[in-house]
Amino acid sequence: MLELLTMLGAAAMSYVAFAWLALSQEGNWRALPGNADRPMPAPAVQRRWRWRAASMLACAYALCLWGHGPSFGTVSWVLLSAAGAMAVAFTLSWRARWLRALAFQ
Amino acid sequence: MGDTFTKSMAALHTWAGVTIGALLFAIFWMGTLSVFSNEIDRWMLPDTRLEARDAATAPSLDRIAQAVVPGVPAGARQWRVDLPTARTPVVEFSYRGADGAEHGRLLDPSSYAFLPPQGSAGATGFIVPFHYHLHLNWMETGKWLVGVAAMTMLVMLVSGVIVHKKIIAQFFTFRPRKRLQRSALDLHNLTGVLALPFHFAIALSGLVIFMTIYFPQSYYGAYGSTAKDKAAFTAEAYGRYTRKPANAPGPLASLDAMRDRAEREWRGGQPYFVRVWNPGDANSYVELRRSYAHDMTMNLDQIYFDAATGEVLARFEAGPVMTVQRFFSGLHFVRFERWTLRWLYFLGGISGCVMIATGFLFWLEGRRARHAKHGLAGVAVVEGLTIGSVTGILLATSALFVANRLLPADAGYAGVDRAGMEIRVFYLVWVLAFCHAWGRCTRAWREQLWAIAGLCVLAVGLNWVTTGEHVLKALAQGQFAVAGMDLGLFATALLAMMALRRIKRA
Amino acid sequence: MPRAAGATVTALRVLGAVCGGYALTALTVAVGAVALSRAGMARSEAVALAAMLGFVLYLVLLLWGFSVRRVGRLWLGFGAGAAVMWALWRLLD
């Protein structure tokens, strides 16, 4: 059970982290409904999003290490990062409006 | 890094892909299935759907010996039992006869009774070996082909990154509503870049496993090139103890006592298999190896006992560099018991298959446009090859699972047993898929996707009919492997239908 | 390929990069294993380390072999590498 919970927790963190990373890029931010004509958030905001993403990824790694140990934890984190990033890409393609909740500055 | 460098890398990426793509997809697909090989075995070998036992209730080795030793023929060189694990709830008994041929039976770890012959190689007997040697054993040809494919994959991963000019800008880009060539390229880049560490590590670790085959020159200088030198290296690196038989009869002491001794030496580590060498001989000896079910590194810890007295004869542990090699091996083999991580590996494998298939699609669509412009006909041949290599092998795999449920227990023909018949169904359907692809051209994509969906659903239905277990019942009984396989088959059918809709719009 | 000038050049490049690259890597791995064991590493360990690093070396040689502008330079480069390895081999013997 602990194994599953730490995986799910780290997966969620990975998803949120990559969502912020994606939103910090203009092309992806504009994909959200209604953002096509709005002014792009300031570079400071973009940097903030990237910092949040990095911190969240670090937290995910820490959680993986805590729940699965050094080798399993590292491998899990690398794979969860890939999965999280892909999930964000698919969200942007099909349900971009879901990311609106994370686009807070 | 000038423009010609990128151009040469682009050409390399394209031509390497065209040359090795079909083989690479087969290897990657079988590898992806291999992640769940033990689980697929439960589905394909219904008598092995036993309750999983925990480590505390490990079966008695002496009772196992009581059950199996009478079946070991005189002159056999060795017999072994692989102990049950959480994923494989049966005892796997095998022996090597005097002629060198291997024979095996399965036992129920609770009753110590033999299970009836399953008449199927299962996933571990067919799919896994296909993945690493393509069942081409003459002069290790299969392993060499797989090695070439793995090396080519490394080259393509690096060249692909070099060629992908907008790698940062398009990090999350996937446009499924664009025309097929664009969508395929997007998905190819996505699966390639985001899972790049996985693909690279898998290819490299696969090569490292067979390093002594691919670089025998590594020990030529330090040891020599004769068979004896190779044996010396193998003994020093991987551990090996041998003792000549006395050619006089001798008893077998308590295996359970040896296991207890081993567990004390390994500070709680359990053996995962027991092998008795030269059984029945006065100089017979027993080999135990430590389980790595909870480690990434596939340790080489082994202890050898005198069969008659139970005294320790020899011990072995891998050195630091070999431990690294075994860590890489463990990264690739995925033998550990962590089902959540196992699922991640499976998804990684799927992403690799998607990467290769979309690469093919992208190239094919580009070729189609170019050939149409110049009035050439070569696309038909290449398209047929692609269809057979991608949907064809998926179709053959579905047929394998259907055949597994359909073939009667006494099936056999011209010296080929039931297990062999199952495998022949796989190859026959694969060949037919190529013929169908070349005959029907572009329409073959849709037709084969329909067939895959149909066969997958049929397989689930046949499992229900032939074993009485459907998904809900399997879940209720704790048979997660069987439920997972049924759900996986459903998911494959679903994905095939989704792909159908997508290419219809192409 | 840069200045693709026919099947012969392509064949020479593929042969040089794939076969020549493997030959040079194998030679380096053999020499490397001996060198490491002479330096004090246990023989089996040295062999394992050299073999594992061999794959990385082969990857680098392949990428260089397919990107170097002139095929002649490819063969020259690998030839020079082989000569260096052979010299090292004689030194270690």
What's the CA angle centered on B14, arms B9 and B17, to 5 degrees?
115
Please give the model's pTM, rounded to 2 decimal places: 0.95
Question: Measured between alpha carbons, how far is C1 from B159 in angstroms, rounded to an integer?
Answer: 13
Task: Give mean pLDDT, residues B385-405.
Answer: 97
Per the structure, the complete domain to which residue C14 belongs is given by 7-92
In eight-state DSSP terms, residue B285 is E
Question: Could you tell me which chains touch chain B, where touching means 3 or more CB pairs under 8 A?
Answer: A, C
C30 domain-assigned: yes
Best of B8, B157, B218 to substitute, by most chain C Cβ atoms within 10 angstroms, is B218
Lowest mean pLDDT among B106-115, B155-164, B379-388: B379-388
Let me know: does B328 contact B205? Beta carbons within 8 Å.
yes
**Is pLDDT above 90 for A61?**
yes
Instruction: Please state, rounded to an integer, the average pLDDT across all residues of chain A.
Output: 94
Q: What is the rounded CA–CA span in Å between residue C93 and residue C91?
A: 6
C2 belongs to a structural domain: no
> How many independent structural domains does chain C possess?
1
**Residue type at B419 in one-letter notation:** A
Terminal Cα-to-Cα distance of chain B (whole angstroms): 37
Q: Which residues of C touch B233 (CB under 8 A)?
A: 43-44, 47
- B271 beta partners: B290
Q: Is residue C46 part of a domain?
A: yes
Asked whether the predicted pLDDT for residue B410 surpasses 90, the reply is no
Pairing label, strands B302-306, B312-316? antiparallel
Q: Any CB–CB contact under 8 A between B135 and chain C? A: no
Provide mean pLDDT across the span A53-62: 98
| pLDDT at residue C5, as a whole number | 63
User: Which of B53-57, B122-126, B185-189, C49-53 shows the lowest mean pLDDT across its residues?
Assistant: B53-57
Half-sphere exposure of B388 (CA within 13 A, CB side): 23
**Does the beta-carbon distance from A92 to B348 stay under 8 Å?**
no
**How many C-beta neighbours within 10 Å does residue B360 have?**
25
Are the beta carbons of A92 and B340 separated by less than 8 Å?
Answer: no
Instruction: Give residue for tokens 């794979």.
Output: A79
Q: Which helix (H) or strand (E) holds B314?
A: strand B312-316
B8 touches chain C (CB under 8 A): yes
Kindly list the partner chains of chain C, i.e. chains with 3 or more CB atom pairs below 8 Å. B
3-state SS, B18-66, equals: HHHHHHHHHHHHHHHHHHCHHHHHHHHCHHHCCCCCCHHHCCCHHHHHH
Token pair for B449 = 């996707």
As given in the structure block, the two tokens for residue A69 are: 């140990």
**Upper half-sphere CA count for residue B359 (Cβ side, 13 Å):** 29
Per the listing, tokens 């993403």 go with A53
CA distance B10 to B156: 9
List CB contacts (< 8 A) between C33 and chain B. 218-219, 221-222
Cβ–Cβ under 8 Å, residues B179 and B169: no
Closest to A82 (Cβ–Cβ): which among B195, B338, B340? Answer: B195
Question: How far apart are the C-alpha atoms of A48 and B136, rounded to whole Å?
Answer: 55
Distance CA B298, CA B254 (A): 27
Going by C-beta distance under 8 Å and a sequence separation of 6 or more, which residues neighbour residue B306?
B253, B285, B286, B313
Instruction: Indicate yes or no: CB of B218 within 8 angstroms of CB of C51.
Output: yes
* Residues 6+ away with beta carbon under 8 Å from C11: none
Question: In this structure, are residues B91 and B65 in contact, taking their beta carbons and an 8 Å threshold?
Answer: no
What is the per-residue pLDDT for B55?
61
Q: In the predicted model, is pLDDT for residue B402 greater than 80?
A: yes
- Asked if residues A3 and A70 have their Cβ atoms less than 8 Å apart, the reply is no
Give the mutation candidate from B1, B6, B8 for the C interface (greatest C CB count, under 10 A).
B8
Order of all β-strands in the sheet with B78-82: B102-107, B91-96, B78-82, B271-277, B285-290, B302-306, B312-316
At residue B148, does pLDDT exceed 80? yes
pLDDT band at B2 (very low <50, low <70, confident <90, very high): low
* Residue C19 identity (one-letter amino acid): C
Quick one: C31 exposed, middle or buried, by C-beta within 10 A (0-12, 13-18, 19+)? buried
What type of residue is B386? T
B38-58 average pLDDT score: 87
User: Looking at beta carbons, which residues of chain A come within 8 Å of B344?
Assistant: 76, 79-80, 83
Chain B residues within an 8 Å CB radius of C42: 236, 319
Please report the sign of the dihedral spanned by the C-alpha atoms of residue B399, residue B402, residue B408, residue B410. positive
Per the CB < 8 A criterion, the answer to whether B388 and B402 are in contact is no
Identity (one letter) of the amino acid at B183?
S
- Residue in B327, B338, B341 with CA at minimum distance from that of residue B201: B327
Q: Which two tokens stand for residue A42?
A: 């300031």
DSSP state of B77: -
| Contact (CB<8Å) B344/A86 | no
Sequence-distant contacts of B435-442: CB under 8 A, at least 24 apart:
B437/B383, B437/B384, B437/B385, B437/B386, B437/B387, B437/B388, B437/B392, B438/B380, B438/B381, B438/B384, B438/B388, B441/B380, B441/B383, B441/B384, B442/B383
> To the nearest whole percent, how much of chain A has pLDDT over 90?
84
**Residues B278, B285 contacting (CB under 8 angstroms):** yes
How far, in Å, CA of B275 to CA of B76, rounded?
A: 12
Q: Do C2 and B7 touch (CB under 8 A)?
A: yes
The nearest CA of chain C is from the CA of B8 a distance in Å of 5
The answer, yes or no, to whether residue B500 has pLDDT greater than 50, is yes
Q: Residue C1 falls within a domain, yes or no?
A: no
- Taking an 8 Å cut-off on Cβ atoms, the answer to whether B8 and C1 are in contact is yes
**Is C66 inside a domain boundary?**
yes
**pLDDT higher than 80, residue B57:** no
Residue type, C37: S
Contact B67, B73 (CB under 8 A): no
Percent of all residues in chain B with a pLDDT value above 70, rounded to a whole number: 99
Q: What is the mean pLDDT of residues B12-24?
A: 95
Dump strand ranges (E) for B98-151. 102-107
d(CA C9, CA C1): 10
Strands B102-107 and B91-96: antiparallel
Interface of A with B (CB under 8 A): 3-4, 7, 18, 21-22, 25, 27-28, 68, 71-72, 75-76, 78-80, 82-83, 85-86, 88-90, 92-94
In angstroms, the separation between the Cα of residue A3 and the nearest Cα of chain B is: 7
Q: β-strand B91-96 against B78-82: which pairing, if any?
A: antiparallel
* Mean pLDDT, rounded, for B291-303: 96
Q: Could B7 and C46 be called an inter-chain contact, meaning their C-beta atoms sit closer than 8 Å?
A: no
Confidence grade of residue B58 (pLDDT, cut at 50, 70, 90)? confident
Smallest Cβ distance to B172: which of A28, A75, A80? A28
Interface with chain A: mutation pick from B340, B354, B480, highest number of A CBs within 10 Å: B340
Per-residue pLDDT of C5-56, as tens digits, reads 688 999 999 999 999 999 999 999 999 999 999 999 999 999 999 999 999 9
Nearest to B341 among A18, A28, A76 (CB): A76
Residue at C47 is within a domain: yes
State the pLDDT confidence band at B56, using cuts at 50, 70 and 90.
low
pLDDT, tens only, C35-49: 999 999 999 999 999
pLDDT, position B1: 43
> Could you say which residues from 33 to 92 on chain C have a Cβ atom under 8 Å away from some Cβ of chain B?
33-34, 37, 41-52, 54-56, 58-59, 62-63, 66-67, 69, 89
Can you tell me whether residue B222 is helix, strand or coil? Answer: coil
Of A25, A80, A88, the CB nearest to B344: A80
Structure tokens at B130: 């296909």
Please report where in the chains the tokens 């027991």 appear, as a residue. B274
Residue C29 contacts B, CB cutoff 8 Å: yes
